[in-house]
Amino acid sequence: MIRLIQGLLAISLVLVLGGCSVHYSASGASIEQGAKTVNVRFIENRAPINNPTLSQNLTERLRNKVQAQTKLVQINEEGADYEFKGNVTGYSFSNAAVTNVDQAATSRLTVTISITFIKRIGDKKGFTQSFTRSADFSASALPSTVENNLLETTILPQIVDDIFNKAFANW
């Protein structure tokens, strides 16, 4: 009798779990089955103040991340399964911390990117969202001397991760 109950429980467990499926990937990216292509369009710089290399670097970093962490192939034409397009909408320097003598101790570079993500496959739920990241630096440093390093080491990697995770990670 006990063996019969154990057998029925085992069969029930196999049937219940057999209907469940989980998609795992090493990168954490969740790509629709059948998706093969992506078009990461050039991200234009429309901010009032801008860095001349920002658009190119941001576009290339996003393309490289998508290609490195998914099996999607970059195509430069309409109709890709996934499409990213966007603009740099904000680029500013500001004071982040002030000393007791009303002098800036820390300054901040802030970058805002507006991205539209289009899905033409699966549930077709895309998004339009702004992504903002900033990095602080000593107020005694000239912005022009620290700007490219802050972009390359801090701001762009964080923004690209934010965009990628919003598009492909189901957290």
pLDDT reported for residue 7: 54
pLDDT reported for residue 97: 81
Please provide the DSSP assignment of 108-122 as one string.
EEEEEEEEEEEE-ST
Give strand pairing partners of 127: 117
Q: State the Cα–Cα distance between residues 118 and 10, nearest whole angstrom.
A: 44
Q: Give the global pTM.
A: 0.81
> What angle separates helix 156-168 from helix 54-69, to the nearest 10 degrees?
40
What is the C-alpha R_g of the chain?
A: 23
Classify each residue of 88-103 as buried b or exposed e, where b means 16 or more C-beta atoms within 10 Å of its C-beta.
bbbbeeeebeeeeeee
3-state secondary structure of 127: strand
What phi, psi does 2 have (nearest 5°)?
Answer: -65, -40
User: Which pLDDT tens digits describe the chain residue by residue (171 residues)?
Assistant: 666 555 545 565 444 444 443 343 444 578 888 999 999 999 999 999 989 999 999 999 999 999 999 999 999 998 999 999 999 999 999 988 877 677 778 999 999 999 999 999 998 899 999 999 999 999 889 999 999 999 999 999 999 999 999 999 865
What phi, psi does 24 have (nearest 5°)?
Answer: -110, 145
Q: State the Cα–Cα distance between residues 2 and 57, nearest whole angstrom.
A: 67
